[in-house]
Copies of this chain bind each other. A is one copy, B any other.
């Protein structure tokens, strides 16, 4: 026993030094083995009758591309606004998105009907789309705690959050049969509150008003790039899971109008609170895209263009007010330091939902 212990003691410092690599190696190998055992290509695509018919793939691929750009480029650069965390944001964003894709294909697969019946996970482009949705959820949580965790903590966060959000999704969509086209409930609300819970646990007084928690000129130019890629591709995300052409069409137009209304409302409200009447770039970069969250759940069902325009406008106003009043309040009173102000962007969904039921 003594020899064994001494051998472990010799190895231990190496494990500590390389703990990130060791954890990642174990996780990645486990994922590869699980893929080998359980995951195979969806056989529907291999049937000879469908082989020459590109219609289904044609109606999926552009939405998949748009969602992918939103996750890997939009989110990455939107979170690159902190002066000293540009590299970290972009690289951790990429790592967590990839890790989530692997992990959520497995988690979602274990909840699927196919797995219950034949014991394999069928992989198709819809599963990759859903995996991108899970990445969005993890990245929103990451945004709330940006600059507070180490890489290994982010990885552990991902390993916990993905099964939790997938189980919630299963509950919301399959058990409760709630319509959630753009995944606003399971992606944005879950991601935001998971991140906020984490932030409560990890925030300390020292971190608020930290000198690094600010942006400089060209980092905001990169943040706006992220915002614009999210803005442009959000119709793809909200239309991605639609089934019929009519639903696709409606989801695209409603998301488009909601974002347009939200942008105009943001620019309208912004100068009221600025002493020198200039636009606040942090608010512009974040509040203009709140319209996409607001319309998310119901993008494929809203029947009147005015509703999506009005819903987006309300979302923009609430999001700006959140930055002005809520963020400082939460930071002061609850010690809740929300780096990206994501509660205002993704968490105000529930307030808006209630308003939309009234409307």
A interface, CB within 8 angstroms of B:
18, 20-21, 24-25, 28, 31-32, 35-36, 39-41, 45-46, 50-59, 61-66, 68-69, 72-73, 76-77, 80, 86-87, 90-91, 94-95, 98-99, 101-102, 123-125, 128, 151, 217-218, 220-222, 224-225, 228-229, 231-233, 236, 244-246, 248-250, 252-253, 256, 259-261, 263-265, 267-269, 271-272, 277, 279, 281, 284, 288, 303-306, 309-310, 313
Contacts and interface: CB of A to CB of B under 8 A. Distances in A.
Contacts of A249: 45, 57, 124-125
A43 to B, nearest CB: 10
Contact of A222 (B51, B101, B221): B221
7 contacts: A21-B271, A28-B265, A36-B306, A50-B246, A54-B55, A123-B253, A124-B249
Q: Ordered nearest first, which 6 A-B pairs have the shortest CB separation? A: A36-B306, A54-B59, A24-B268, A98-B263, A98-B260, A35-B306
A61 B218 CA distance: 33
B59 A59 contact: no
Contacts of A253: 41, 123-125, 128
B303 A41 contact: yes
Given A20-B268, A124-B253, 6 more contacts: A35-B305, A36-B306, A54-B55, A56-B245, A123-B305, A125-B249
B279 A51 contact: no
Contact of A102 (B51, B248, B309): B309
Given A264-B102, A305-B41, A59 B62 contact: no
Given A18-B272, A65-B66, A288 B256 contact: no
Contact of A245 (B53, B99, B233): B53
A309 to B, nearest CB: 6
B313 A40 contact: no
A324 B221 CA distance: 30
Contact of A57 (B102, B224, B248): B248
B95 A52 contact: no
B260 A229 contact: no
Given A41-B303, A53-B245, A228 B94 contact: yes
A260 B45 contact: no
Contact of A309 (B35, B87, B220): B35
Given A87-B220, A229-B73, A305-B35, A267 B24 contact: yes
A185 B166 CA distance: 40
A244 B51 contact: yes
Contact of A236 (B65, B77, B222, B309): B65
B284 A94 contact: yes
Contact of A306 (B25, B32, B56): B32
Given A51-B246, A80-B221, A87-B279, A272 B72 contact: no
Contacts of A277: 20
Contacts of A252: 61, 64, 125, 128
